[in-house]
Amino acid sequence: MDLSSVTSLRAARSRADLTLGPGETVLAGGTWLFSEPQPTVTGLVDLTALGWPAWEELPDALRIGATCTIEQVQQAPWGPLTGLVREAADSFLMSWKVQHVATVGGNLCLGLPAGAMISLTAALGASVEIWTPAGEVRHEPVAGFVTGDGRTTLRPGEVLRAVDVPRAALAAPAAFRRTSLARLGRAGAVVIGSGSTVTVTASTSRPVALSVDDLEAGLAAIDCWFDDPHGAPDWRAHVTGLLAREVAAELVA
Amino acid sequence: MRVNGADVEATPEPGQCLRTFLRGTGHLDVKKGCDSGDCGACTVLVDGAPVHSCLYPAARGTGREVTTVAGLGTPDDLHPVQEAFVDAAGFQCGFCTAGYVVTAAAAAGTEIAADPERCFKGNLCRCTGYRSIKDALAGHGNTKAEGGIGEPVRAPAALRVVTGREPYTLDQPDIGVLHMKLVRSPHAHARITAIDASRALALPGVRAVLTHHDVPDVLYSTARHDDRRDDPDDTRMLDDVVRHRGQRVAAVVAETLAIAERAAALVDVTYDVLPAVFDPEAARAAGAPLLHGDKSPEVSRIGEPGRNVVAASHREVGDVAAGLAAAAATYAGTWTTARVTHAALETHGARGWLDEAGRLVLRTSTQVPFLVRDELAHVLGLEPDRVRVLAARVGGGFGGKQEMLVEDVVALAVLRLGEPVQLELTREEQLSATPCRHPMRVSVEVGADADGVLTALAVDVLSDTGAYGNHAVGVLFHGCSESVALYRCASKRVDAEVVYTNNVPSGAFRGYGLGQVIFAIESALDELARRLGIPPVELRRRNVVRPGDDLVVDGPPHTDLALSGYGLDQCLDLVESALARGDRTPPPGPGWSVGEGVAASMIATIPPRGHHAEASVTLEPDGTATIGVGSAEFGNGSATVHVQLVAEALGIAPSAVRLRSSDTDATGYDTGAYGSTGSVVAGGAVAEAAAAVAAARAAGEPLPITRAGRRDGSQRSLAFNVHGVRVAVDRDTGELRVLQSVQAADAGRVLNPEQLRGQVEGGVAQGYGSALLEELVVREGEVLTRTFRHYRVPQMADVPETEVLFADTHCELGPHGAKSMSEAPYNPVAPALANAVRDALGVRPHALPMTRDRLWRLATTVSAPPATAHDAHPTEETR
């Protein structure tokens, strides 16, 4: 939709351009920003002009650039995890057409419980790299970066630069399960296993990592079951348990 | 930017989305359905890649090549995908079609095209039920370009729809038009003590801010009926009391929509918040806050404003108590239905202007142009001949456009400013502030003797009309009419009330109340059959009305209803044998329980107390013909039928027939396209005119020959539907899979089998949505499901294929023996599913929608699958 209060759009070409003026917000794919009224936003700063690579192979990590689209991320060198990434991308309610435009960084920064890139990267033990307005860089696990429904640790002026998936996770066994009220609808529960960790998203307001070795106690201790029109919390808790046990069984198989 | 191969000189605004930019530069084939990336109607190609253009920053398109549906092909040179959609009849209203065609063209030859459900999960169609779209994608042809009555003739607009050339309501150049934005109430009940528009008016480009100080002091109803007295006069165009969240408070008119939106945020409104009531039972209890307590019951036609009751009925025939006492088995239960939105892909919108003669003209997305004209004249104090209302092809209706929701304020602004003004509601406004399906609580008590013959049937209905009484009365009485009259039973009682609450108003919705009551009655009868050990289909056979029976609800029999061309017996047989044939699909796995269910429904072919249509047919000297008719085409297919009727009568090709419709200048009068009347009333008038032309031609009258036809809808018939379904339910997750779905319909003689099949499939799909997925979630009067992301309109992946079977009947009252069939297929779907779930799980659902979380909870209330299909269950209420 049109953002009627927006009167300026500028391309960021260097880090210095990321200093936001009053009313400015960063624009990546725009698929969420343009999907809801944004009455307080008066200016857009386009990150896609920074030319960040979609992905880079770092010595100890696969780095996904924040402006990498959901379509591009499926082409990254995931090795044995290629199928898992594809399942995570398909888990979006958004269509493959939106995936041409929507970005990994945008999905992370939204902090939605059903954010499929949050599910994927949190489960793989990835960390975000955040550029602070003071010119610093800070890192944080995705599982800690997302703190609740629509909430992250991102502070005003901070920009998500990339998410780094550790190489060890690329080689670890992985498993994926999801469910939703409608077959291809918005996720009600997403459970992804990697190595010996089972990560719950969508059914909880923030990512919750559980140990395969102590799964039942971990499930019982979850205190942030999510309640929205995409599933009642008691059902979410129940099906999460089912999916988590399936994932755990697949990991140790 | 280059669009469809031509350079576009204009520069996008910073916050503009590509769709608005494209439409603003004349590419009106790109549709606005949801404006949030969920429906796919605005899909275009950017450098060959498909994107939802409502989410795509227009500025990012600079330097790129954009292709829209119009750029893919033309009516004379169709793209192969466009040709496939024409051949398969892969659309009804056609508002979503551009998005489907562009998406399919982009996917062609790629991996995702092999998985249509995934490929099209970002495209919503509300009309078709998706089977015909899947046929188009698979290259199956279903239609013929030419043909007569009984043949699958394609829609006259087909070539224009698939190429984006068919203009819908607001597909007009945005030149010299002012735009309106509504200010809405944040409170469920409040008195406005002050409105200060000075900040808004100070914004350059703002032309007017209309408030309750500017509107006529006339009470009316947004609901439209042939007789305006059918609905209570309880609504002011802009009121100083708001009664639901989202109610219109002020209308801002500005030179651009962006300015109007900015200005709307600057209108300062001071409210004195009043107590509110949201529960319909609480609303009719003593001491509840009164919504319309200030109004006269006589003047406003409100039943009991002192008790929030719009209308009530408490009547009985026979002796229900004695009937229940004499029964061998009885059953009683209470069922509830949710709020559901129509989700027509085209939102409500209108553009108004003054013509050369100074006459007010409204181009609007409506099912009832004549009724809107007459009510605008009433509210604004104008003579009806000073108002013209016309509808282009309407992008879906489902009853939602039997209301006057935008035309009134647009007309007021046009008269005030003397300039063209346009208002287009957003999808969020559609979901959160326009009328939805009436939620109802329905209790049923039923008894039968040992042979399964009904001895008593009692129904108690409480309907929540929300803040206004539009359609409250009609929906309540119609809901309790054919649903109860379907069964022969000496003792019947109906207690029914519809009450005001501070919720968003309810309104006309496909089925007009029947679906809610049928859900309860058909569930109760299914349980009664179990108690008696009689198969559910057999219980219906023993009790349904037959030719010669009176049609009785709770008083004297209907006198204007006749069972002409009776096909319910065939429908029951067809569904029973289809289910018996079965598809032998085994349960998906351990933990799944399988069950089957059926439900029957009946509906009058025409609304009661008059439904009028006038039509003209002219046979031109060149052998072509022109129809003038009042009713609107909104995906119901009446345009196709009207053309077929004239082609058949005059022995000419359908392509030689022109249609001028849905314009108060096109003919004398037409009540409008509601109550499933497009074929049987307007079509009847067209057929009569065509027959008169043919007779005059045979008598040697020189061309051109013009004749008129007329129908008043005074004699009505009944149409029948029976739905059967076999489901599997995973007891551990609540997931439901439809293993088999069949619907038999008695539509009289079938005028166009492909189109009729599409109407049935579309109604069934909407039924699946209401039964399994859809709910407007409302808390304290606030709608929480404000986008299609949160409100689950069925996607292609959610709708099973339904086998559609037709009874072989002939109705004496309809054109060529036809009955109506547009609302009806929706009505029996939810109870058939509920009965199948009961059969599978051994416990009965009582609330819609039956979402996975609810079915899981239901399954947990019983420990194990039932031993037999027909055991009575101790958890059920009994006596």
Least confident among B129-138, B745-754, B867-876: B867-876
Q: Rounded to an integer, what distance in angstroms lies between the CA atom of residue B449 and that of residue B443? A: 21
Assign B572 to helix, strand or coil: helix
| pLDDT range class, residue B335, cuts 50, 70, 90 | very high
Indicate the average pLDDT of chain B.
Answer: 95
| pLDDT range class, residue A253, cuts 50, 70, 90 | confident
Q: Select the more confidently predicted residue: B464 or B676.
A: B464
| In a shared domain, residues A74 and A153 | yes
For the domain made up of B613-711, the CATH class stated in words is: alpha beta
Q: Are A125 and A141 in contact (CB under 8 A)?
A: yes
Residues B319-345 as b/e (b if ≥16 CB within 10 A, e otherwise) read ebeebbeebebbbbbbbebbbbbbbbb
| CA distances for B58 relative to B20, B311, B522, angstroms | 8, 51, 52
| In a shared domain, residues A66 and A164 | yes
Least confident among A68-82, B47-61, B413-427, B574-588: B574-588
Is the per-residue pLDDT at B872 higher than 70?
A: no
Inter-chain CB proximity B117 and A239 less than 8 Å? no
Q: Which of A97, A186, A191, A245 to mutate to test the interface with B (most CBs of B within 10 A)?
A: A97
Q: Do domains B436-606+716-860 and B613-711 have the same CATH topology?
A: yes
Average of pLDDT values for B316-324?
98
Assign A151 to helix, strand or coil: strand
CATH number at residue A113: 3.30.465.10
Q: What would the pLDDT profile of A195-240 be if each residue is shown by its tens digit?
A: 999 999 999 999 999 999 999 999 999 999 999 999 999 999 999 9
CATH number of B2-162: 1.10.150.120
Tokens of B769: 């949505």
Indicate the average pLDDT of chain A.
Answer: 97
Q: Select the more confidently predicted residue: B467 or B679.
A: B467
| In a shared domain, residues A12 and A61 | no
Residues A60-88 as b/e (b if ≥16 CB within 10 A, e otherwise) read ebbbbbbbbbbbbbbebebeebeebbebb
| In a shared domain, residues A165 and A180 | no
Q: Where are the alpha helices (DSSP H) in B97-209?
A: 97-107, 116-119, 131-138, 158-162, 198-201
| In a shared domain, residues A42 and A116 | no
Inter-chain CB proximity B258 and A2 less than 8 Å? yes
Is A1 contained in some domain?
no
Is A3 contained in some domain?
no
Whether the predicted interface score ipTM is above 0.85: yes
Which of B117, B784, B790 has the CB atom closest to A184's CB atom?
A: B117
Tokens of A63: 């780095």
Give the count of domains, chain A: 3
Tell me the shortest Cα–Cα distance from B431 to chain A, in angstroms. 14
Residues of A in contact with B773 (CB under 8 A): 181-182
Inter-chain CB proximity A229 and B790 less than 8 Å? yes
Is the per-residue pLDDT at B877 higher than 70?
A: no
Assign B364 to helix, strand or coil: strand
Q: Rounded to an integer, what distance in angstroms lies between the CA atom of residue B286 and that of residue B189? A: 18
Is the per-residue pLDDT at B876 higher than 70?
A: no
Q: Are A188 and A91 in contact (CB under 8 A)?
A: no
Is the per-residue pLDDT at B570 higher than 70?
A: yes
Query: Residue B677: its pLDDT value, please?
Result: 82
Contacts 24+ apart (CB under 8 A), B317-321: B317/B490, B317/B491, B317/B492, B317/B493, B317/B552, B317/B554, B317/B555, B318/B456, B318/B489, B318/B490, B318/B491, B318/B492, B319/B491, B320/B445, B320/B456, B320/B457, B320/B458, B320/B491, B320/B492, B320/B493, B321/B456
Query: Residue B863: its pLDDT value, please?
Result: 66
Tokens of B598: 């059926």
Query: Residue B708: its pLDDT value, please?
Result: 96
Q: What would the pLDDT profile of B685-743 be if each residue is shown by its tens digit?
A: 999 999 999 999 999 999 999 999 999 988 899 999 999 999 999 999 999 999 999 99
| In a shared domain, residues A80 and A106 | yes
Average of pLDDT values for B11-26?
97
Residues of B in contact with A203 (CB under 8 A): none
Tell me the shortest Cα–Cα distance from A166 to chain B, in angstroms. 30
Residues of A in contact with B732 (CB under 8 A): 242
Tokens of B198: 């000075």
| In a shared domain, residues A163 and A211 | no
- Classify residue B110 by burial, with Cβ atoms within 10 Å: 0-12, 13-18, 19+: exposed
Please indicate if any CB of chain B lies within 8 Å of the CB of A232: yes
Element (H, E) at B415: helix B407-417
Q: Are B481 and B553 in contact (CB under 8 A)?
A: yes
Looking at domain B178-274+345-396+401-433, which of 3.90.1170.50, 3.40.30.10, 3.40.1030.10, 3.20.20.480 is its CATH number?
Answer: 3.90.1170.50
Is the per-residue pLDDT at B155 higher than 80?
A: yes
Which of A1, A41, A228 has the CB atom closest to B17's CB atom?
A: A1
Cis upstream peptide for B12 (omega within 30°)? no
Which amino acid would we find at residue B668?
A: G
| In a shared domain, residues A187 and A222 | yes
Which of B117, B120, B733 has the CB atom closest to A242's CB atom?
A: B733
Please indicate if any CB of chain B lies within 8 Å of the CB of A211: no
Q: Rounded to an integer, what distance in angstroms lies between the CA atom of residue B791 and that of residue B343? A: 10
* DSSP-derived secondary structure for A60-112: SEEEEETT-BHHHHTTS--GGGHHHHHHHHHTSSS-HHHHTT-BHHHHHHHT-
Query: Residue A244: its pLDDT value, please?
Result: 98
| In a shared domain, residues A60 and A150 | yes
Is the per-residue pLDDT at B108 higher than 50?
A: yes
Q: Which of B789, B790, B798, B857 to mutate to test the interface with A (most CBs of A within 10 A)?
A: B789
Q: What would the pLDDT profile of A98-151 be if each residue is shown by its tens digit?
A: 999 999 999 999 999 999 999 999 999 999 999 999 999 999 999 999 999 999
What residue in B sits closest to A29 (Cα-Cα)? B56
Which amino acid would we find at residue B366?
A: T
Please indicate if any CB of chain B lies within 8 Å of the CB of A74: no
Q: What percent of chain B has pLDDT over 90?
A: 92
Residues of B in contact with A181 (CB under 8 A): 773, 792, 851-853
| pLDDT range class, residue B352, cuts 50, 70, 90 | very high
Residues of B in contact with A48 (CB under 8 A): 60
CATH number at residue A187: 3.30.390.50
| In a shared domain, residues A37 and A85 | no
Residue with tokens 């239901």: B858
What residue in B sits closest to A6 (Cα-Cα)? B15
Please indicate if any CB of chain B lies within 8 Å of the CB of A96: yes
Please indicate if any CB of chain B lies within 8 Å of the CB of A113: no
Q: What would the pLDDT profile of B498-553 be if each residue is shown by its tens digit?
A: 999 999 999 999 999 999 999 999 999 999 999 999 999 999 999 999 999 999 99
Q: Rounded to an integer, what distance in angstroms lies between the CA atom of residue B444 and that of residue B495? A: 10
Q: Rounded to an integer, what distance in angstroms lies between the CA atom of residue B512 and that of residue B476? A: 8
Inter-chain CB proximity A181 and B852 less than 8 Å? yes
Residue range(s) defining the domain that contains residue A237:
173-252
| pLDDT range class, residue B798, cuts 50, 70, 90 | very high
The residue out of A169, A184, A215 marking a domain boundary is A169
Inter-chain CB proximity A239 and B856 less than 8 Å? yes
Segments making up each domain of chain B, as ranges: 2-162, 178-274+345-396+401-433, 436-606+716-860, 613-711
Number of neighbouring beta carbons within 10 Å of residue B196? 14
Query: Residue B46: its pLDDT value, please?
Result: 97
Query: Residue B610: its pLDDT value, please?
Result: 85
In angstroms and rounded to an integer, the radius of gyration of the C-alpha atoms of chain B is: 27
Per residue, what are the HEC states of B469-484? Answer: CCCHHHHHHHHCCHHH
Which of B59, B732, B853 has the CB atom closest to A181's CB atom?
A: B853
The residue out of A169, A198, A233 marking a domain boundary is A169
Q: What percent of chain B has pLDDT over 70?
A: 98
| In a shared domain, residues A81 and A156 | yes
Is the per-residue pLDDT at B867 higher than 80?
A: no
Tell me the shortest Cα–Cα distance from B575 to chain A, in angstroms. 27
| In a shared domain, residues A73 and A128 | yes
Residue with tokens 């679906």: B515
Residues of A in contact with B104 (CB under 8 A): none
Please indicate if any CB of chain B lies within 8 Å of the CB of A97: yes
Residue with tokens 């009713």: B631
Is the per-residue pLDDT at B865 higher than 70?
A: no
Q: What would the pLDDT profile of A143-173 be if each residue is shown by its tens digit?
A: 999 999 999 999 999 999 999 999 999 999 9
Is the per-residue pLDDT at B864 higher than 70?
A: no
* DSSP-derived secondary structure for B218-263: --B-SB--SSGGGS---B-SS-SEE-STT-EEEEEEESSHHHHHHH
CB proximity under 8 Å: A 12-41 to B: 27, 30-31, 34-37, 39, 41
Specify the length of chain A in residues: 253
- Classify residue B703 by burial, with Cβ atoms within 10 Å: 0-12, 13-18, 19+: middle
Query: Residue B586: its pLDDT value, please?
Result: 83
Inter-chain CB proximity B857 and A8 less than 8 Å? no
The residue out of A146, A169, A192 marking a domain boundary is A169
Average of pLDDT values for B93-120?
96
Q: Rounded to an integer, what distance in angstroms lies between the CA atom of residue B170 and that of residue A74? A: 40
Q: Are B345 and B396 in contact (CB under 8 A)?
A: yes
Q: Are B636 and B135 in contact (CB under 8 A)?
A: no
**Architecture of the CATH domain B436-606+716-860:** 2-Layer Sandwich (3.30)
Which amino acid would we find at residue B462?
A: L
Bridge partners, residue B561, by sequence: B716
Strands (E), B561-610: 592-604
Q: What angle do CA B424, B24, B4 make, to 5 degrees?
A: 125
Specify the length of chain B in residues: 879
Q: Are B695 and B804 in contact (CB under 8 A)?
A: no
Inter-chain CB proximity A234 and B857 less than 8 Å? yes
